Amino acid sequence: MFPLHRGRRLRVNESIRSLVRETSLSPADFMFPMFIAEGENVKVEIPSMPGIYRRSIDLTIEEVKELFALGIRAVNIYVKANDDLKDNTGKEAWNPNGLMQRAIKAIKTACPEMIVMPDVALDPYSIYGHDGIIENGDIENDKTTEALVRMAVSHAQAGADFVAPSDMMDGRVLRLREGLDQAGFHNVGIMSYSAKYASAFYGPFRDALDSAPKEAEIEVPKDKKTYQMDYANRIEAVKEALMDVEEGADMVMVKPGIAYLDIVREVKNAVNVPVTVFHVSGEYAMIKAASERGWLDHDKIMMEQLMCIKRAGASLISTYFAKEAAILLNK
């Protein structure tokens, strides 16, 4: 009777493997992060992210229509603000005619069914490259939160379906919920970056937006470790996610992805809202770089990583591979 169990019986061919497969991927599992720039007919490739561009609004809406046709149903949007608009208050963030607000309006007009989730954090607008307002050498939590509420309400006024706070200030989900409700936006959701780690995987993103923490004439933190989480910690991620759900988050996020799948599963088991995962810029750059050298098979690694993120517990994956993966899945 040896061996009693032959696990290989369920792996004999692709048909049986497909019958017992526990996880599947579809284009609707993805959200595509997009970088927006001023101007017209602008499409600039990010050097550390081959295949990813900063686009002006006109070209962005063309891309959004293509994404929708491929089955992608959500975009996360980030803007590159001009330097002369940056200060330590972040006030450009809630300018009703700002680049973000114009982008939201244009996308929702061109493709009303695409779910638009603008990023809520001050870093694109901060002269210091931080996610909030600096006072006495650190980010002032509660003043920053007030600024984020103004920002989120301006996104809702422009037509955003969801707002996505990526700043990691304490209590901001509660304030955002109150602020949106008071302004009449009960149906605008919150996808909170709940367990966002202080990670070196964000490097290429900061190149894309020129948003890395900068030297300054006043004392400023040299990194984001006083607000983003310590990657040695696991229990703290559960605490952050549970707090955000209690404060009214409709979805929570874990970020980055691949090196943090234990956190994804832990959070998934703890909360009763959809868990999203951000497969971030550095993860994208690594696959592109290794496959350019012929060291890894691009498409296979891409699909393996996305499937493993889903298996770990993600309901949605924000990934720069969204378009490429959707094209493969539609074949």
Q: Which is nearer to ligand PBG, 29 or 131 (CB)?
A: 131
Separation CA 165–CA 162 (nearest Å): 10
- Select which of 86, 105, 108, 196 is catalytic: 196
State the residue for tokens 């602020």. Answer: 179
Tell me the two tokens of residue 273.
Answer: 């809202």
Q: Which residues touch 195 (CB under 8 Å, ≥6 apart)?
A: 229, 236, 237, 240, 241, 252, 253, 254, 255, 260, 263, 267
Q: Is 324 annotated as a binding residue?
A: no
Q: Which is nearer to ligand PBG, 131 or 266 (CB)?
A: 131
In 3D space, the residue among 239, 228, 165 whose CA is nearest the CA of residue 202 turns out to be 228
Q: Can you give the three-state secondary structure of 264-326, one letter per residue?
A: HHHHHHHCCCCEEEEECHHHHHHHHHHHHCCCCCHHHHHHHHHHHHHHHCCCEEEECCHHHHH
Separation CA 51–CA 138 (nearest Å): 36
In the bound complex, what is the minimum distance in angstroms from residue 318's beta carbon to ligand PBG?
8
Say whether 196 is catalytic.
Answer: yes
In the bound complex, what is the minimum distance in angstroms from residue 112's beta carbon to ligand PBG?
25
Q: Which is nearer to ligand PBG, 111 or 121 (CB)?
A: 121
Note the maximum CA span of the chain: 77
- Select which of 86, 108, 224, 255 is catalytic: 255
Q: Which is nearer to ligand PBG, 192 or 281 (CB)?
A: 281
What residues are paired with 254 via a beta bridge? 195, 277
In the bound complex, what is the minimum distance in angstroms from residue 224's beta carbon to ligand PBG?
6
Q: What is the amino acid identity at position 141?
A: N
Q: Which is nearer to ligand PBG, 63 or 131 (CB)?
A: 131
In the bound complex, what is the minimum distance in angstroms from residue 58's beta carbon to ligand PBG?
24
Side-chain half-sphere of 125: how many Cα atoms within 13 Å? Answer: 24
In the bound complex, what is the minimum distance in angstroms from residue 140's beta carbon to ligand PBG?
16
In the bound complex, what is the minimum distance in angstroms from residue 238's beta carbon to ligand PBG?
21
63-102 exposure pattern, b = at least 16 Cβ within 10 A, e = fewer: bbeebbebbbbbbbbbbbbeeebbebebbbbbbeebbbbb
Q: Which residues touch 295 (CB under 8 Å, ≥6 apart)?
A: none
The CA-CA-CA angle for residues 317, 323, 327, to 5°, reads: 115
Say whether 310 is catalytic.
Answer: no
In 3D space, the residue among 64, 117, 54 whose CA is nearest the CA of residue 316 turns out to be 117
Backbone CA torsion sign across 89, 255, 71, 299: positive
User: Which residue ranges make up the site for ligand PBG (CB under 6 A)?
Assistant: 119, 121, 123, 131, 166-167, 202, 205-206, 224, 280-281
What residues are paired with 79 via a beta bridge? 36
Q: Which is nearer to ligand PBG, 206 or 311 (CB)?
A: 206
**Which residues are annotated as part of the binding site?**
240
- List residues with catalytic annotation: 196, 255
Annotated binding-site positions for Mg(2+): 240
